[in-house]
Chain A
Amino acid sequence: MTSRELTNTEAMAEALREEMTRDPSVFIIGEDIVAHGGIFGQFRGLPEAFPGRVIDTPISETCILGAGLGAALTGMRPFVDLHFADFMTTAMDEIANQAAKIRYMFGGQAKVPMVIWAPDGAGLSAAAHHSQSLEAWFVHTPGLKVVSPCFPYDVKGLIKTAIRDEDPVVFFMHKKIFGLKGHVPEEEYLIPLGKGEIKREGRDVTVISYSIAVLHALEAANRLASEGVEVEVLDLRTLWPMDMELIAQSVSRTHRVVVAHEACITCGVGAEVAARIQEELFDELDAPVLRVGAKRVPHPFSPPLEKFVIPSSQTIEDAIRRVME
């Protein structure tokens, strides 16, 4: 085993390179991806390595998604780049009415092996149209699988699995963690969808989280450790299917739970997690499950405004203190 560090961007590019080499039906489609290599450089090197299989499109999200869908229905494995998660609204019919439902409403005739990849998240003063975290919409939509990892190891393993999966997978990556470095082995590996991971063990309280909020949870956990509070950090990685088994294991050790995400708190993934814990694990709880998420306003532009709206390691720390009372 060699120890090697990659950024999330590099891990993603490596996953794509491996899968495109392995399977000629894999192609990438989206805006600004050939000459520019993707707006975050996530596809750099791939257009040269796979001529004709990294396809620039006009600004036409509806048809970018549709192009992926129609290709998936007819034997290809598209990886669709939607530029910013916010723009998924302009392809929502194709995602929610078509890609998600086609297999079911045609009685299982069709397979939709497609990855819908979109950078999401706030914290860059990108304001209301370039900052959202919309994963709850897609978890709410039967037929989709939803992935939102944090670390390069998980990004690589989950992208490879998502590409090989026979169903539409909505894959979110937070814009602020593209440069995050982490260990990625040279050897090939896959990470199954629907499996979370404990990123930090602790006996006192579980923070259930995903995406950038995992980093915030870990920061909060480190601070609280100096006070003798041992926080367990559970990274869901996949939001649907949801790893209730891992949640149950952790909650039955710690008996106290905070669910934290950057998305708007109302009807967010945290609401689903909290509801299921109280339905299925009520007897394990020593305190009500608390949620941390963004305030229910569009993302404002000005840094102090944005900082006030979105959660941070401090808001997670505050919630942990409350749940420990």
Chain B
Amino acid sequence: MRNTPTAEEMVWLYKTMCRIRAFETKVQELFAANRIPGFVHLSIGEEAVATGISSVLRADDYITSTHRGHGHVLAKGADPKRMMAELFGKRTGYCKGKGGSMHIADFSLGVLGANGVVAGGFPIAVGAGLSCKLRGTDQVVVCYFGDGASNRGPVHEAMNMASIWKLPIIFACENNQYASTTPFSYSTSVERIASRAAGYSMPGVTVDGNDVLAVREAALEAVKRAREGGGPTLLEALTYRLRGHFEGDPQRYRTKEEVEKAKERDPIVRLASFMRKKRLLTAKLEKEIQEEVAREIEEAVRFAEESPYPDPEEALQDLYAGDVAQAAMGGLR
């Protein structure tokens, strides 16, 4: 394989996927125990996509995320403590309790926000890409989306615009086979979303999205192309959502057998087995990593639990940036 990651990079990939899995498994538990309000969408089983892509990004690169965004944000370096606090609706959360699971952002890490609107990140990614170009930087933008989003109108506008202006964007599709409850095979006019790239004169690549090394390699090429001014790439990662669309989803649209079968392709198990073969993951190291991420997540939960809720009046803050007093004058009643 070209561009084989170093041993250190390999460990990062493994640890990052484990961190996402541990975070979301804990969220699943907490949600079931009624300790997290609202609703959550988990990406368990899809960790290789965000991890493989983030492994080739720089700290100053941007991402736009989705409603199923915990993995994207964690892989970009977000703090599990502030994420968990946000999920709990606490003041110490990334968004001071105003966003919740679907609206986590960390602008200092280039995370331009998860998004509650399917395909909502596309137009924003175009703007971030245009901004990189206007500012003359070599930053790139990853626009994460799912197979469901691929059928929305903004996708067409965004891909066309990114193509004509050669914007540094990687349109990263996590094809997890279901748009909420609707199967990809029913809802989508093509067998491969990547084939739509032809309509926008950009490369379209489909990879096994449960193979983090395959994702990483494809992302490496797409990022290089974007950084060097070659324009956007449509990268489709075939994966599978092991949990429901949302926690509590009765999942009438698929069989238990299908889900069980998909677990055989678990991206974390696959990387671990590959690393063991290469002697990059000893039993000792594996245990250390598992314990480390478990500790991180326990700390995150403790931090979230011990943090205060915002005062109700804080609901009236953060609406406007400039001229806050003036905006409040006419603005809040």
Contact = CB atoms under 8 A, between A and B. Distances in A.
A27 B127 contact: no
Interface string A257-280: 000000000000000000000000
B317 A67 contact: no
Contacts of B135: 74-76
Q: How large is the interface on A (under 10, 10 to 19, 20 to 34, 35 or more residues)?
A: 35 or more
Most chain B beta-carbon neighbours within 10 Å: one of A70, A76, A103, A167 = A70
B320 A145 contact: yes
Interface stretch (A10-18, A93-101, A182-190): A93-101
Contacts of B93: 107
A103 B98 CA distance: 10
Interface stretch (A37-45, A57-65, A119-127, A152-160): A57-65
Given A62-B157, A73-B107, A111 B123 contact: no
A295 to B, nearest CB: 28
A145 to B, nearest CB: 7
B117 A97 contact: yes
B122 A66 contact: yes
B161 interface: yes
A55 B165 CA distance: 10
B321 to A, nearest CB: 4
Contacts of B107: 73, 106, 109-110
B233 to A, nearest CB: 18
A270 B328 CA distance: 21
Interface string A286-301: 0000000000000000
B204 interface: no
B95 A106 contact: yes
Interface stretch (A128-136, A203-211, A224-232, A241-249): A241-249
B330 A244 contact: yes
A104 B97 CA distance: 10
A69 B130 CA distance: 11
B124 A70 contact: yes
A63 B318 contact: no
A193 interface: yes
B329 interface: yes
B94 to A, nearest CB: 7
A70 B127 contact: yes
B125 interface: yes
Interface in B116-171: 116-117, 120, 122-132, 134-135, 141, 153-154, 157-158, 160-161, 164
Interface of A: 27, 29, 52-53, 55, 57-58, 60, 62-63, 65-76, 78, 93-94, 97-98, 102-113, 142-143, 145, 165-167, 192-194, 240-244
